[in-house]
Amino acid sequence: MKTGKKLAALLLAAVLILGLAGCGAFETKMARAWQKLDKLDSLRLDIEDDLELSVTEGELRVPITAKLTGTVDLYLNPLQAKADLVLTWPGKETRLSAYLQEEDGGVVNVYWNRNGGALWEKASLTASQPRLKPNGIKYIIDGAETFREVEQPGVTDGSRRFDGQIPGSFIQGYLALYEVENRLADDFGIELPKDLLASINSVPTSLWINADGELDLIVLEPTAFLNGLLPRLVADFKAASGLDQLPLRCTVENNRIIIQLSSFDSLEMLVIPEKVLSPWGDGAADWE
C-alpha cells in the first residue's frame, strides 16, 4: 500500500534528521519496528475495549459497563479488511461482521451485517484530499519523547515495554489529516458539535516490542480523553432534545483498549463472499 510506505519513509527520515535514533532505546526500537510493519502485507488485530461509565441525575447514579471484543484481519496491498466484533451492553449483545475493500480511484467500500441477518449494508467512502500529507509527520514526532522503558520483573521472552502519552495534538492533527469530521458528516450524516476537537486530552499508552523487534501489543487508556469530550456532547444532546434543565451528567470511570498484533504475513488471502457483493451490482443503490 503506497500510503503506508510513504508514512514509514517520512517517519524514518524524521528520526534520522532529528537524531532521535541515537537518543534513546524507544526511538531506535520504534523506528525498526515501524520498518517491519511497513514491509508486511497482512496482520491480525485482536481487540478488547472495556468501558465503565456512570450516568448521574441528582442523587441517582446508574453505572453502565460495555465491552467490545473481536478480530480484524488487515491486508495492506491492496487495502482490505475483515472484522468480526461483539459489543456487549447491559442486557444486550450486538454482533457485527464487516468487510472493507479499496477500489480504483481511492474509493473504499465498506460492507457490514448485524447479528447474522441476511441483509448486508454498504457505504462507499472517498477522500476529497490525499490521505497522507507531509506535515503529518510532526504529529508522530510529538509523542516520541514522552515514552520510557518500563521494567518488567519476571518477563523472560525478551519483550520490552515502553509507556508514554499520545499527545492531544497528535490525535487532533490526524483527525484533521484524515478529514474525520467531514467524512462523518458526508458519508454517515453525523454532525459533530463545532470545535469539539479543538482541545483534547492526551492518551496514556503502553507499547510492547517483542524479541524479534515487532510491535505486537498496544494498550490505550483514553479515560481522560473521553471525559474531555463527554460534557460537550451531553450538553449539545440536551439542548437539541429540549432537556437543558435536566441535571444529567455522564462520566467515563474507566476505559482500557488492548490491541494484540499477530499473524504477520501469515493470513490466507481474503475472499469477500458473493452474498456480500451480489446485492451491489450495476444499478444497485448504495446505502445512504
71-108 pLDDT, tens digit per residue, is 999 998 788 999 999 999 898 999 999 999 988 777 88
What confidence category does residue 18 fall into, taking pLDDT thresholds of 50, 70 and 90?
very low
Domains of the chain, CATH where assigned: 2-280 (2.50.20.20)
CA 258 to chain centre: 11
- Find the helix packing angle between 180-188 and 168-177, rounded to 10°: 50
What is the rounded average pLDDT of the residues 196-211? 85
In whole angstroms, give the CA distance from residue 97 to residue 110.
11
Q: Pairing mode, if any, of strands 79-89 and 60-76? A: antiparallel
pTM of structure: 0.77
Residue 141 near residue 18 (C-beta atoms within 8 A): yes
Q: What is the pLDDT of residue 228?
A: 83
Q: What is the pLDDT of residue 230?
A: 78
Q: Which three cell numbers stand for residue 94?
A: 450486538
Q: What is the pLDDT of residue 254?
A: 96
161-173 pLDDT, tens digit per residue, is 999 888 887 777 7
Is pLDDT above 60 for 136? no
Longest C-alpha distance within the chain, in Å?
61
Residue listed under C-alpha cell 429540549: 242
Q: What is the pLDDT of residue 239?
A: 59
106-129 pLDDT, tens digit per residue, is 788 999 999 988 889 888 877 554
Could you write out the DSSP letters of every residue in 50-82? EEEEEEEETTEEEEEEEEEEEEEEEEETTEEEE
What confidence category does residue 232 fall into, taking pLDDT thresholds of 50, 70 and 90?
low
Residue 175 near residue 197 (C-beta atoms within 8 A): yes
Cβ neighbourhood burial of 166 (10 Å; 0-12, 13-18, 19+):
buried
In whole angstroms, give the CA distance from residue 171 to residue 144.
14
Q: What is the pLDDT of residue 59?
A: 79
CA 272 to chain centre: 23
Q: What is the pLDDT of residue 243?
A: 56
Residue listed under C-alpha cell 483498549: 257
